[in-house]
Amino acid sequence: MTEFASENTDPATLLAWHVAMGADEAVDDDPIDRFTAEPPPPAAVVPQQKPAVAKPPQGPRPVAAKPVQAVVGAGPEAAARVAAEAQTLADLKTAMEAFDGGLLKRSAKNTVFADGTEGAPLMVIGEAPGADEDQQGKPFVGVSGQLLDRILNAAGFAREENVYITNMVPWRPLGNATPDAATIAMCMPFVKRHIELSKPKVILMVGGVSAKALLDTEDGITRLRGRWKELDIGGQKIAALPVYHPAYLLRQPALKGHAWRDILSAKRKLASL
């Protein structure tokens, strides 16, 4: 097939012609026994010089430290300054919404400030928002809040008339975790200022977190529940009663009778003031 090829034929063109004619393998005219044939001597290998590569510096690579963001944000000192500047409940709400609450606040959807009637004689202070409260931006609106409303209503109280409701912590903790000491310390100035501006006659401390924080005690809610205490908030002497949290009552329905006696005790206390 190569007899028609000119000496000047381009090798690539000639190879393409061979492939087109079916000569797609290079073979000799005579067969070779590859099993007995002597292998050709290895071609001389000329060592190639590898390009010089700069060696990395020895030892650990220095890493610049990033500034750490506090979990509780600006902290209790800043909270105390901001809370003291609030002259009305509206001021306090605005201040809390603008406050750097750290990871606690950034992980929540809403700042759950309060619900009910401002200036009501009965103030209810719970623990922290749950999922429903975080979604709606109001305290005690989930299943436990509905039970709280039924207990209050049965005793003649209602959010729309004579009850004001808030929490120790205005932002939902991740996973509904119990607020730790650092979180309580950051939120306490807001809670105390909230009480000062609300001027209630009686406070219901709902659950162990609220009672232990406001009374500054390590006693549990079982020991504290039903025993009247006095809070001194900004020079105001306020009667305060620790009671079971409605979420606990849902898990321990046999204790609902205690909750009913406590709310009747609060009603009698208000009537005597």
**DSSP secondary structure of 38-106:** PPPPPPPP-PPPPPP-PPPPSSPPP-PPPPPPPTTTTHHHHHHHHHHH--SHHHHHHHHHHS--HHHHH
pLDDT of residue 1: 45
| Full pLDDT tens readout for the chain, 273 residues | 444 445 556 777 767 766 666 666 666 667 666 666 666 666 666 666 666 666 666 666 666 655 555 566 788 999 999 999 999 999 999 999 999 999 999 999 999 999 999 999 999 999 999 999 999 999 999 999 999 999 999 999 999 999 999 999 999 998 889 999 999 999 999 999 999 999 999 999 999 999 999 999 999 999 999 999 999 998 999 999 999 999 999 999 999 999 999 999 999 999 999
Listing from the earlier edge strand, what are the strands of the sheet with 229-233? Answer: 115-116, 163-167, 122-126, 202-206, 236-243, 229-233
3-state DSSP: the chain helix, strand, coil percent, rounded to 5? 40, 10, 45
Q: Which two tokens stand for residue 138?
A: 């109001």
Instruction: Give the position of tokens 């509206």.
Output: 90
Backbone angles phi, psi at 150, to 5 degrees: -65, -40
CATH superfamily of the domain spanning 75-272:
Uracil-DNA glycosylase-like domain (3.40.470.10)
Model pTM score? 0.74
Q: Which two tokens stand for residue 198?
A: 């609300």
Question: How many degrees, rounded to 5, is the angle at CA 265 between CA 118 and CA 145?
Answer: 50
